[in-house]
Structure 1
Amino acid sequence: MPSTTSRQLGFTLVELMIVVTIIGILSSIAVPAYHNYIQKSEITAGVSTASALTTNIDLFIQENGKFPPATDLSEIGATATMSALGTLSLLPDTEVAEQGVLLFEFNATTSVSGKKVQWRKSATTGWQCIQDAAEHIKGCQQGTIM
């Protein structure tokens, strides 16, 4: 007498639809979280790149009595394009010789294109970091960059 039971050879359409739905739900959560992670890591890299040069600028000020000139980053051991994420520039204060700004601007290949990180040197309060890219970046407050 032949057996009436048959073996299942694959997945049913309902099972496949359930799997696709689960993958879609997980993706809708993971993709924005990943984008935020990339954005914060790029901002942190920009903050760190500029921060590393503040000591060099302090040494330049001690030796020369003024903030480095805007025309030559090599005076502080840097180049404008030393980071693939953006460009560096110096903006000496026209009124107080020991003050100025070290500016890092993100380029178009980043997730924060056109945003900036600014390290401002004050003769009285020292270095202050301001960035206009994201909230809650450790060591660099969010604000408006001039």
Structure 2
Amino acid sequence: MKHELVLDWMAKDVITVTPTATLKEAEQLLIDNTVRRLPVVAAGRLVGIVTYGDIRAARPSPAQALTPAAIDALAEKMTVAEFMTPNPLTIAYDESIGVAARLMLKNMISGLPVVNRQGELMGIITEADILRLVIHEWSREIASAG
């Protein structure tokens, strides 16, 4: 398992968003695609990442005495560039899963955009992908022991 590469376990079909997309559009992409994070891409390059937490923090609170319609209107005007995490931590596609896992654990994050040497997004590796690898290896060990 130490020599498994990020490339072999990452999700390659990544749902992305642009910096000019609205908060409402980003939120809808997360919901529609059942994902927890969206890499933000401009001109083919990764420029940020948006999570559910970022959206919750950016969305006005009902305690601010705004009507639901006013909250929705703000969500349609606010762009991803205003609340994304710029220049997120990334990992190279040819790095080991162990390095990815340590980076996630150290930084208390659940996923890493995967990039090539030019900084272009190639995929995303998440805790779920690493768990899938662990289960795969565990199943192989059980099968060979039996």
Same fold (TM over 0.5): no
Q: Which has the higher helix share?
A: 2
